[in-house]
């Protein structure tokens, strides 16, 4: 099983992934860990990534997803803001991705991003992510005003009951 948790920065993708890895017994990976040094340096300087910056990152992730698919699966936290990005991620796969979409009001997410320590994503970049965000009409959608623990419980119940 492959699970991708998507949403803008600060929605709790990593927190949710860390909970789900235990409950679903799947390895968890954060897509941010696969960014190039150039992309990370650009974001550290407060500059948003463009489609070209993301292309290599997304293609690399799609190849890695294929490897995980051949194994026992995995959970990946990845912004996957646009439908075209999600298509790249799925392009090498034979099986379907279980998409979990996290969303929330801009003010709530901005407050979360401002409180984070030691993260290269700057609060001033959040607006650029919202402007690019294309929410899909598929997958499981969760408003992050609900506590992450509760979201995780519901997801595990759905996966265990194969309601996806």
62-95 pLDDT, tens digit each: 999 999 999 989 999 999 999 999 999 999 999 9
Task: Collect the ranges in the chain with pLDDT lower than 50.
Answer: 163-164
- Provide the pLDDT for residue 120: 56
- Provide the pLDDT for residue 49: 77
Q: Are 108 and 79 in contact (CB under 8 A)?
A: no
pTM of the model: 0.89
- E-state strands within the chain: 2-6, 28-30, 74-77, 97-103, 140-143
CA–CA gap between residue 13 and residue 90 (Å, rounded)? 19
- Provide the pLDDT for residue 121: 57
């Amino acid at each position: 099983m492959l699970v991708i948790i998507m949403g803008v920065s600060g929605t709790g993708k990593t927190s949710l992934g860390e909970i789900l890895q235990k409950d679903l017994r799947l390895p968890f990976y954060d897509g941010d860990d696969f960014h190039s040094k150039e992309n990370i340096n650009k974001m550290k300087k407060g500059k948003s990534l463009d489609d070209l910056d993301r292309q290599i990152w997304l293609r690399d992730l799609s190849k890695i997803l294929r490897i995980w698919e051949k194994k026992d699966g995995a959970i990946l936290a990845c912004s996957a803001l646009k439908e075209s990005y999600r298509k790249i991620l799925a392009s090498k796969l034979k099986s379907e991705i279980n998409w979990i979409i996290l969303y929330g009001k801009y003010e709530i997410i901005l407050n979360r991003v401002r409180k984070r320590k030691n993260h290269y994503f700057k609060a001033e970049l959040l607006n650029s992510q919202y402007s690019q965000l294309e929410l899909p009409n598929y997958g499981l959608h969760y408003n992050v005003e609900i506590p992450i623990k509760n979201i995780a419980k519901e997801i595990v119940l759905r996966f265990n009951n194969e309601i996806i």
